[in-house]
Amino acid sequence: MSTDRARWVFDLGNTRLKCAPLQADGRRGPVLALGHADDAGFEALAAALPAQGLSASIASVASPALTARLLDLLQARFRLVSFARSQARLGDLQVAYPDPSRLGVDRFLALLGALGQGPGPWLVAGVGTALTIDLLDARGRHLGGRIAPSPQLMRQALHGAARQLPAEGGDFDEFARDTQDALASGCDGAAAALIERSLAQAERMLGARPGLLLHGGGIASLLALLPEARRADSLVLDGLAVWARGQASTLTPVAR
């Protein structure tokens, strides 16, 4: 087994697992993205992993049962397994939350990953089950953020309350003339509007307009509405690679 494939990072979300080997310089290698709704995703993961690896670093916002399933698989393959946790400071990143443990680890790692995207400030928007928005100034200070339903979750909630409203489909139009299009326009438009408001407020606060980074599985429908955005699909994994590099000398095995 080559040394650049001995250490891996894993981002376990509510609908997808993304993972990557770390290269010799500690940076993220090619990303593997898998669904985990059934056994096929875990079978594909098992086939992709080395038989014996040095370390695995996990960021999980998924259920305890799903996290435990991933942990069982990784403990059979890696000598050391660790879970990333949000912390008050790491490198140039300084978290705004008085209690950093209350900041979701995916948001923490996305901010850490944003520091590698070039000079800030940055507005970091993650679109998954939730829409998360965080502001990072040019010195790496996190200035706070927002959490709202993602467009996908809005659609699901509307469908749950009124089954005649479809949970997916439709195209964005400023003034739609079809219910399915109107749903897509309203939910995508709501998310885009919140991001645009956040950009405007950030510009007032900082005196400069921040760059916009979009990441997460639900960004495709928002990219056309936010032309200034930079797509950063694997921002959480990028941050996790930074976290893993900092922990490399202190990792201890997770109890079996």
pLDDT in tens, 189-200: 999 999 999 999
Nearest CA to 129 out of 105, 160, 155, 109 is that of: 155
Beta carbons of 111 and 93 less than 8 angstroms apart: yes
Around Cβ 11, how many Cβ atoms within 10 Å?
Answer: 29
What is the structure's pLDDT at 247? Answer: 76
Catalytic annotation, pick one of 4, 25, 72, 106: 106
What is the structure's pLDDT at 248? Answer: 61
Strands 122-127 and 211-215: parallel
Domains 3-86+239-247 and 99-235 share a fold: yes
pLDDT in tens, 41-93: 889 999 999 999 999 999 999 999 999 999 999 999 999 999 999 999 999 99
Q: CA triplet 93, 221, 59: central angle to 5 degrees?
A: 35
Mean pLDDT, rounded, of the chain:
92
Domain boundaries, the chain: 3-86+239-247, 99-235
**Is 60 exceeded by the pLDDT of residue 16?**
yes
**Is 70 exceeded by the pLDDT of residue 184?**
yes
What is the structure's pLDDT at 41? Answer: 85
Catalytic site includes residue 106: yes
Q: Which fold has domain 3-86+239-247?
A: Nucleotidyltransferase; domain 5 (3.30.420)
What is the structure's pLDDT at 164? Answer: 96
User: Which residues are bridge partners to 212 per DSSP?
Assistant: 123, 229
Check the CA dihedral 180-14-23-45 and report its sign: negative
Around Cβ 184, how many Cβ atoms within 10 Å?
Answer: 22
**Is 50 exceeded by the pLDDT of residue 1?**
no
- CATH superfamily name and code, 99-235: ATPase, nucleotide binding domain (3.30.420.40)
> CA separation (Å) from 193 to 148, 186, 198, 222?
12, 10, 8, 10
> pTM of the predicted model, to two decimals?
0.91
User: Which residues are bridge partners to 7 per DSSP?
Assistant: 55
What is the structure's pLDDT at 58? Answer: 97
